[in-house]
Structures are given as C-alpha cells and as structure tokens.
Amino acid sequence: AGCNVENACYSLGVCAERTAIQKAISEGHTSFRAMAIASDMGDHFIVPCGACRQVMREFGTDWNIYLTKTDGTYVVKTLEELLPLSFGPEDLKK
C-alpha cells in the first residue's frame, strides 16, 4: 500500500506508486504481477507519472496496471503499454 506525500515544492513530494513499490521492496518483495491506482478525481483515470513508470519498469514490463475511477470502472494496461520502448536492467548488460 502507498499514498501520495505532497510537498509545497512539487518535485519533493512522493507518489503513491513509488511509495508502494519501495515499501514492498523493504519487506522483501521484488516480483510484481499488478498494481491498482485509485483516486477521487471523478471522471478521469489517473495514470502513473514518468518517474513512477520508470521505477516500475525495473521489475519488468509484463505486469498489469489497473487504472480506476470513483464509479468503480477501470481499465487494465500493461506497463509495456504505459512505457513503450523502455530502458530496463537488461539494457545495462549490453
């Protein structure tokens, strides 16, 4: 579980996605199958920011990201769809 930690200087805040991943890693989890992103923004699906997408990418591209709205509707995207042609740990071996 994670939540946004806002700061008056926006770049110093921490997104919920990165908070959740870092908490999971600190508890020994390094393999992920899915993540759900929820908010109270009404009519809009909330998507992860670029920094969160790149952190998520460290754990592969074939896991599902559930984007939800307050009315219960959702869409499912793979990380590959959200971050195409990405750079990951395997590229460091080239």
Tens-binned pLDDT, residue by residue, of the chain (94 aa): 766 677 777 777 788 899 999 999 999 998 999 999 988 877 888 899 999 999 999 998 889 999 999 888 999 999 999 999 999 988 888 8
Residue 35 pLDDT: 94
Domain ranges of the chain: 10-82
Residue 43 pLDDT: 84
Asked about 17 being catalytic, the answer comes back as yes
**58 alpha-carbon distance from chain centroid:** 11
The tokens describing 55, both together, are 């952190």
The tokens describing 52, both together, are 């969160």
Catalytic residue among 17, 80, 81, 90, which? 17
**17 alpha-carbon distance from chain centroid:** 4
Residue found by looking up tokens 């199958």 in the block: 33
Among 82, 48, 52, 76, smallest CA distance to 64 is for 76
d(CA 25, CA 28): 5
Q: What is the pTM of this model?
A: 0.84
What CATH number has the domain spanning 10-82? 3.40.140.10
